[in-house]
Structure 1
Amino acid sequence: MKQLPIIQVLPDLKNILNTAQAAVLIAEPGAGKTTGTPPAFLDEPWMAGKSILMLEPRRLAARSAATYMASCLGESVGQTVGYRMRNDTKVGKNTRIVVVTEGVLTRMLQSDPSLGDVGLVIFDEFHERSLHADLGLALTLEAQAVLREDLRILIMSATLDSERVSALLGDAPVVNCPGRTYPVETIYVPTTGNFPLEKTAAAAVRRALVEQPGDILVFLPGEREIRRTQSELENGSLAEKTVIRPLYGQLPQNIQDAAVAASVQGERKVVLATSIAETSLTIEGVRTVIDTGQRRTQVFSPRTGMPSLTTVPVSKASADQRRGRAGRTAPGVCYRLWSQEEHNRLPDDNVPEIMQTDLAQLALELALWGVRDTAALSWLDAPPAAPFAQGTALLRQLGALDAGGAITPHGHSMAALGAHPRAAHMLLRAAELGTAPLACRLAALLQERDLFKGPAALDCDLTLRVEALLRFERSADSGGADPAALRAVLRESRHFLAQLQAAPGENVNDISRCGLLLSFAYPDRIGQKRGDGAFLLSSGRGAAMREGQPLARSSYIVAASIDDRATQGAIMLAAEIEEGQLLSYHADRITEEADVYWDKESGSVKKRRRTMLGALVLKETSHERPSAEEMANVLLSVIATDGIEILPWEKGTIQLRERLMFMHTLRSDWPDVSDFALIATLDEWLLPYLQGMRNLRDLQRIPLARALEGMLDWNQRQMLEKEAPTHISVPSGSRVPVDYTNPAAPVLAVRLQEMFGQLDTPRIGGGKLPVLLHLLSPARRPVQVTSDLASFWRGTYFEVKKDLKGRYPKHYWPDDPLQAIPTNRTRPVK
């Protein structure tokens, strides 16, 4: 302990926490912060015999840290130092340092918000930014502010934005500690060709065994890749006395301990690990790190509606953490299985889990804490509003929250299970029905990777997976399923069984209830057959199965996994449910409604009574004739949807509308009769004329001109005739229609000869606007377009006259148009 760099800064840290409520410790790898810091505070006066809680993100690191600290005290775990984690707790009445894993701190805070017997809460490796770490810190900060001013908080990390964290803790002091690491050479080994990850990793291991001394640590995304790489290495040629040690969270403790322990004299150890070995863990003898550059992280999956593990590239910060594992005890080497250019494109840091995962569980924990608005708590990154609202809506649907957002007794029971709210609700309902063992297996199946591979995985029937799992339980026969995945599902299902205190074999073989149980978890994904493998979901969305799926013949299904990347979701996992089960077990969600609707086939308004489950129509019967008001409202919606073009727009009505649009351009207080405005105000100007109408034929009887005129008061009607006349009288005596197609520039198309004798352009809009004159030849073709008639007579007329006189010699083309007689004939009548 004396050689650890952390010893140098502990006095400063003690002085800070003697007077301050919080501190931030940035300690480089190898500093000894995880095991050296907690014991240093046991005898501080402000501790007064209280205990220390240290949140450690990973189970192996938590157990390892507790074991090492206990050994330094000459004790075994469970005495002064202990740990608490899911399904594994070692503490005693004298335990004062408790290392806890994620979720445990949340449960402790929920049961005792004041943390009455705790003096210091330490958040180790906080840079990993798990959802539970962020939540645990937010709750601890409120507990400190409201209930426990004497409670100390210490944030520890090797890589962290210390300024942001310090600000969150009320400008807490930051202590920096150098690490104890040796130089590590980085070698980039980009892969060429499309080789499986296990072959690339195995090749790198063989190279390192030849080129480098000491043990080797290989970072792989998950258990599957570890097993495949182990098989690839063991089936090939390996140097004598080379042992392969897998290391991931689900392994038994003795196998994990063997991977971490120092190698036997004369042996070389190759540790195949997940990100579990990235921080807070020193693996004795490692001189070489091989990094595949991938990691598994929890991301909200629209397919399952729950968080799922997804493989993503590591960040630069994670890559550096992994690289540092090679320099903990001596100089080392890190092989990165990607190029320098690829490394430059990696993100600087991992995305905090709170920013990319489903927030239903967070919303449930906050409701249990008594918080409905996330802004009431302090966050390093506040939960995004949209996912949080989505999670809250789901909790209401599952009965965990009431209409006001307060947690219900059922919500309390769900939170106690610690599972995702969908799974928790299903487990509790199953316990009521005596089918908890089957539900536990389903919940575990949904959390783990698919049991099937290859063509078998294409069958979306979830009951086939349940059958495979039960067969494996009875006879250890995997039947082509993935044995590792089967074992992982069984481990998880046993955990759920223990929580529910259900008998392991009770009603487990009744797989006909799989669909029913899934419907409790996914009430929004109950699907009704549409045909050709397509289903309408109770949420209103559409989804479809791959062609040839036997399950496609089912009238009703529950979709547990949906690929939402296409417009219509692709159903990946589902189970059949019977209509009788829907009626019996979802009666509280079934509604009866009389529906007045537009029947496109007949083009008329009809009425029906429907039994509904969300968007699904379970039963439909015809109903009596709709009322006049109901028919009118449906017709309004049809017009709004299909557009006002379906109304009887005759020539005179169109001109009236154009005149009204012209007046609106002049005076904003006049009605707006654009398409958008007319649709938006249908109930004001058109509804009175729809009484008694029922179908498209009836719509053609609407007096549309009268309806438009009804938008005007008496004064406006008088003004319309004066300022937007339908016709203008010209010097020849003709009444020429005005074209208002362009409201900004109405057009008067008139033969040039009919305008002789008129000096100025006719004006409309109360004299505000000259019309745009289209002066026509005798053949009614435009020869000039102008809004300045006087200017035309003075100049352009004489050029036009010369051309027209040549083409129309019999017509009258005077030298002085203002003194000439206007005519609508070839020549004026004398």
Structure 2
Amino acid sequence: MQQWAQGRLLQWAMRFPIDDLLPRIRDSLASHPRLVLEAPPGAGKTTQVPPALLDAPWLAGGRIVMLEPRRVAARAAARFMAGQRGELVGQTVGYRIRFDRQVTDATRIEVVTEGILTRMIQDDPALEGVGALVFDEFHERHLSADLGLALALDVQAALREDLRIVVMSATLDGERLARFIDAPRLSSAGRSFPVEVAHFPPRRDEAPEHHLRRAVEHALASHPGDVLAFLPGRREIDRAMRALADSSADAELLALHGDLPVEQQARVLQPADDGRRRVVLATNVAESSVTLPGVRVVVDSGLAREPRFDPNSGFGRLDVVHIAQSSADQRAGRAGRVASGWAYRLWPQSQRLEPQRRPEINQVELSGLALELAGWGDADLRFPDPPPPGALAAGRELLQRLGALDGQSITAFGRRMLALGTHPRLAAMLLAPDDDSERALACDLAALVEARDPLRAGGDAFAARWQALVAFRRGSPPHDASRGALAAIDQAARQWRRRLRVDVAPPADAPAHLIGDLLAHAWPDRIARQHPADPLRYQLANGRGARLYDDSVLFGEPWLLVAELRDDSRQPGRDARILRAAPVDPGRLERDWPARFTTRDRVFWDTDRNAIAAVRERRFDSIVLDRRPIAQPDRSRHAEALVDAVRQLGLDALPWTGALRQWRARVRSLRHWSPELGLPDLSDAALLDTLPQWLQPALAGKTRLDALAADALAEALKSGIDWPTRQRIDALAPIRVAVPSGLQRDVRYGFDDETGEPVAPVLAVKLQELFGLADTPRIVEGRVPLTLHLLSPGGRPLQVTGDLRGFWERTYPEVRKEMKGRYPRHPWPDDPWSATATHRAKPRGT
């Protein structure tokens, strides 16, 4: 209570730059249901706009829900607004974040994070009782904010015309966003003083924490006020705290990140009680979401942890990346809130940053988004930046494997997964067990998957992490484990048990394979079987290969669940390395996934025998469990085997003719020159990918590749193009063109696969046949010039040119002088412009 009162006194004395804009904000929302508000950090938009709307007539006593991207900022904003009203959090102002809720029936302003808003809309599309949605810090472009805005716009258009939507941002292309949501745009001034920016680059081979320590020591010695240092994450903050522990004895060292207890977060956000200077080591939560009093110096590492898709684990991960210039400017601005300040950037001045941060939707795994769209029942929502089609398709494929989708439709199991509000992989695992003991274990495993590794020594056995957690609960964690990490994991597991209403205590022991059996529901594509000829090698259910390290403690396990692997894309064809795995019981696989065990006959091309072969295979997905030869394969499947032969031998195994190769080059060139024709992709890669569609019908009834005739191959290749389009191809890119001599000469086409562009088409013709022609011949309705290979009467090259007029003017006189003596029986007129074209020699006697 004392802390609240101190904060209250400070807040009463504060006036915010946005205060003068509040009447215009209210007036705008009274006449238009959407608004884009631009306001720099420190303007007060987060804590002043929602309370200013509470008495608006259009709100009619309804609630305001504000989406805040970070938990620290959500708690801080709610506490600040509550303090302004002389109340405690949970009265008029409250918050809801993952595993923490401070709201009551009296709450009218709710600050929510992550997927909370999405859950609210999915559970109640009409948003009963909600009058306004506020999206704060939208410039950070989190996927949850983009999805929340897309859903809100859909709700407003279809169900709630009276719903108000406010999008607020510190640095944003407000004009573009205002056009996107068809909204007015207002801008507020900020509160800032001049900030002097300097670069403080590292010394050679200097560790990052020592580099930061030098910069902080310099700041404390040279400038007044508190120091705010930006670091990527908790791990770097811990290292920096240790490095600064001795050198900053006169200053109070504080950390600020999302994993801190609420009391420690609140302490950082309040002024120091004893007047000591403070050094705050923060993640980018302090960039724009919260305000720290007393800061006069910023030390910026230039780094942040941002979501990226991790193919090793199948989840998104937080990667350390260079920040954008807009973020660097915001961080520097933190030093100029109360007086002039200084900002030290820990990277060379020559280093260039991207202007703006990239939207999360373009760089993370999208199975969660795909599940939300399926649950909403409309995949055509409007996003500021649409989700990449390939990533969205991959997300849907995973959901189908997890049982969340049937085709494009969400299943009953998928709806249960959606309600959990976590990654679909974890949701599938948490919902898989039938008894409470296994559910409690699944809660432990979910907490372990989401957390940083508690074991300092690593190792590839997933079970070792869980056993460390069990030992921690007994009070004797392993010496190589982090107590802090295990405590956080234990807390997260407890919250999962509460969420799933699991009343039993977490297990103290588990059968050898149970951990892998449960994890298999999160990674059904990573179930792996030992290779019969190589005990270190495994085949995964998705068809890929993976390999244990030589000293793996999992050596000899016939079945594994691979939770994490590393795939070195620089060495294609090599197996991935198994980084973390757990044994699996194959009997449990048959009980849990009987439909994934199949028996089928496969007809294929045996390269060693150069003949068709057939086997009967029993499989688990792509893992071959048993294979036996079939003496007389089904003849109706021979075409499938011949397609397999082409896939192995390459397209050159087919009976190509020169004319067909030229036709293919013409189509590929026109696809580039005239994309409006919509011609199919006839590149090698595309043809090999679509062999069953275009080639297999032509191979029906055949038992050998050489039984395919050239004309049948030509018709198969052309089968995807209708007759009018084929005629259009001939008109735009003709096989031959007429020249002034009256003859038709061939045009030679080509395509460069490395550049992905057509080679200039070539017309090889004797020079005398072009007399009287002023300009270079063109095709594709005059848009593409031909490259002329001008030949001597004997057919030898004289000149290559794309500029016939220039050739006649500048080069022909020299050619005429040289060739006239060598070919005296052929015409070499002084004026080629008016001479008669011919392909013959002069008559004798002339």
Q: TM-score, normalised by structure 1?
A: 0.77
Aligned with residue 253 of structure 1, among 258, 262, 268: 262
In structure 1, what is the Cα distance between the partners aligned to 2:370 and 2:124?
19
Percent pairwise identity: 41
Aligned residue in 2 for 1:102: 114
Aligned residue in 1 for 2:474: 474
* Equivalences, count: 687
Larger Cα-atom Rg: 1
**TM superposition shift of 1:583:** 2.1
Aligned with residue 231 of structure 1, among 234, 237, 242: 242
Deviations 1:190-238 (A, max 9, x none): 011222222222222222221121221111111111111112222x233
In structure 1, what is the Cα distance between the partners aligned to 2:411 and 2:700?
46
Q: Where do residues 288-303 of structure 1 align in structure 2 (5 Å cutoff)? A: 288-303=297-312
Deviations 1:386-414 (A, max 9, x none): 111111111111111112x1211101110
The SS at the match of 2:453 is coil
Aligned residue in 2 for 1:311: 320
In structure 1, what is the Cα distance between the partners aligned to 2:398 and 2:643?
34
Deviations 1:152-188 (A, max 9, x none): 1111111111111101221x11111111112222121
Aligned residue in 1 for 2:186: 175
Q: CA 1:31 to 1:631, structure 2 compared with 1: closer, same or farther past 3 Å?
A: closer
The SS at the match of 2:127 is coil
**TM superposition shift of 1:418:** 0.9
Aligned residue in 2 for 1:269: 278
In structure 2, what is the Cα distance between the partners aligned to 1:350 and 1:222?
18
Aligned residue in 1 for 2:496: 496
Aligned residue in 1 for 2:54: 42
Give the aligned residue type for 1:541: R
**Do 2:296 and 2:340's aligned partners in 1 also have CA atoms closer than 8 Å?**
yes
Deviations 1:545-575 (A, max 9, x none): 3333232432221211122332232222112
**Do 2:635 and 2:701's aligned partners in 1 also have CA atoms closer than 8 Å?**
no
Q: TM-score, normalised by structure 2?
A: 0.75
Give the aligned residue type for 1:384: P
Aligned with residue 448 of structure 2, among 445, 454, 464: 445
In structure 2, what is the Cα distance between the partners aligned to 1:436 and 1:535?
29
Q: CA 1:627 to 1:431, structure 2 compared with 1: closer, same or farther past 3 Å?
A: closer
Aligned residue in 1 for 2:556: 553
**Do 1:437 and 1:508's aligned partners in 2 also have CA atoms closer than 8 Å?**
no
Q: CA 1:508 to 1:131, structure 2 compared with 1: closer, same or farther past 3 Å?
A: farther
**TM superposition shift of 1:595:** 2.2
Aligned residue in 1 for 2:64: 52
Aligned with residue 648 of structure 2, among 637, 641, 645: 641
**TM superposition shift of 1:581:** 2.5
Q: Where do residues 416-431 of structure 1 align in structure 2 (5 Å cutoff)? A: 416-431=419-434
**TM superposition shift of 1:9:** 0.9
Alignment of 1:582 with 2:582, yes or no, is no
Give the aligned residue type for 1:515: G
Aligned residue in 1 for 2:529: 528
Give the aligned residue type for 2:591: S
Alignment of 1:204 with 2:215, yes or no, is yes
In structure 1, what is the Cα distance between the partners aligned to 2:287 and 2:72?
11
The SS at the match of 2:601 is strand
**Do 1:306 and 1:358's aligned partners in 2 also have CA atoms closer than 8 Å?**
yes
**Do 2:639 and 2:699's aligned partners in 1 also have CA atoms closer than 8 Å?**
no
In structure 2, what is the Cα distance between the partners aligned to 1:394 and 1:327?
48
Q: CA 1:167 to 1:604, structure 2 compared with 1: closer, same or farther past 3 Å?
A: same
Aligned residue in 2 for 1:397: 401
Q: Where do residues 342-353 of structure 1 align in structure 2 (5 Å cutoff)? A: 342=351, 345-353=352-360
Deviations 1:13-62 (A, max 9, x none): 11111111111111122211111111111111111111111111111211
In structure 1, what is the Cα distance between the partners aligned to 2:622 and 2:104?
55
Alignment of 1:487 with 2:487, yes or no, is yes
Q: CA 1:426 to 1:634, structure 2 compared with 1: closer, same or farther past 3 Å?
A: same
Q: CA 1:707 to 1:99, structure 2 compared with 1: closer, same or farther past 3 Å?
A: closer
Q: CA 1:292 to 1:28, structure 2 compared with 1: closer, same or farther past 3 Å?
A: same
Alignment of 1:7 with 2:19, yes or no, is yes
In structure 1, what is the Cα distance between the partners aligned to 2:559 and 2:399?
24
**TM superposition shift of 1:341:** 1.2
Q: Where do residues 691-702 of structure 1 align in structure 2 (5 Å cutoff)? A: none
Aligned residue in 1 for 2:375: 368
In structure 1, what is the Cα distance between the partners aligned to 2:328 and 2:399?
38
Aligned residue in 2 for 1:463: 463
Q: Where do residues 374-773 of structure 1 align in structure 2 (5 Å cutoff)? A: 376-403=380-407, 405-431=408-434, 434-453=437-456, 456-457=457-458, 459-503=459-503, 505-507=505-507, 509-510=509-510, 511-530=512-531, 531=534, 533-566=536-569, 567=572, 568=574, 569-600=576-607, 604-630=611-637, 634=641, 637-638=644-645, 641-642=648-649, 690=703
Q: CA 1:365 to 1:688, structure 2 compared with 1: closer, same or farther past 3 Å?
A: closer
The SS at the match of 1:166 is helix
Q: CA 1:284 to 1:476, structure 2 compared with 1: closer, same or farther past 3 Å?
A: farther
**Do 2:469 and 2:477's aligned partners in 1 also have CA atoms closer than 8 Å?**
no
**TM superposition shift of 1:311:** 0.9
**TM superposition shift of 1:636:** 6.2
Q: CA 1:708 to 1:565, structure 2 compared with 1: closer, same or farther past 3 Å?
A: closer
Deviations 1:423-449 (A, max 9, x none): 100110035574122222222222222
Alignment of 1:324 with 2:324, yes or no, is no
Task: Report the RMSD for the aligned CA atoms in angstroms.
Answer: 3.5
In structure 2, what is the Cα distance between the partners aligned to 1:797 and 1:315?
69
Q: Where do residues 115-264 of structure 1 align in structure 2 (5 Å cutoff)? A: 115-170=127-182, 172-234=183-245, 236-240=246-250, 242-264=251-273
In structure 1, what is the Cα distance between the partners aligned to 2:381 and 2:520?
34
**Do 2:298 and 2:342's aligned partners in 1 also have CA atoms closer than 8 Å?**
yes
Q: CA 1:209 to 1:532, structure 2 compared with 1: closer, same or farther past 3 Å?
A: same
Alignment of 1:287 with 2:299, yes or no, is no
In structure 2, what is the Cα distance between the partners aligned to 1:710 and 1:599?
24
Aligned with residue 74 of structure 1, among 71, 76, 86: 86
Q: CA 1:623 to 1:24, structure 2 compared with 1: closer, same or farther past 3 Å?
A: same
Gaps of 5+ in 2: 1-11, 666-682, 715-745, 749-792, 797-820, 825-846
In structure 1, what is the Cα distance between the partners aligned to 2:163 and 2:711?
75
**Do 1:57 and 1:125's aligned partners in 2 also have CA atoms closer than 8 Å?**
yes
**TM superposition shift of 1:534:** 2.4
Deviations 1:609-658 (A, max 9, x none): 222111101223444532444457535643663369989xxxxxxxxx99
**Do 2:615 and 2:630's aligned partners in 1 also have CA atoms closer than 8 Å?**
yes
In structure 2, what is the Cα distance between the partners aligned to 1:462 and 1:664?
55
Aligned residue in 1 for 2:806: none
**TM superposition shift of 1:604:** 4.8
Gaps of 5+ in 1: 648-656, 669-674, 694-698, 713-742, 746-784, 789-794, 799-830
The SS at the match of 2:206 is coil
Deviations 1:286-317 (A, max 9, x none): 22111111111111111111111111111111
Give the aligned residue type for 1:255: Q
**TM superposition shift of 1:124:** 1.0
Give the aligned residue type for 2:241: Q
The SS at the match of 1:501 is coil
Give the aligned residue type for 1:393: E
**TM superposition shift of 1:711:** 10
Aligned residue in 1 for 2:801: none
Give the aligned residue type for 1:196: A
Give the aligned residue type for 2:472: F
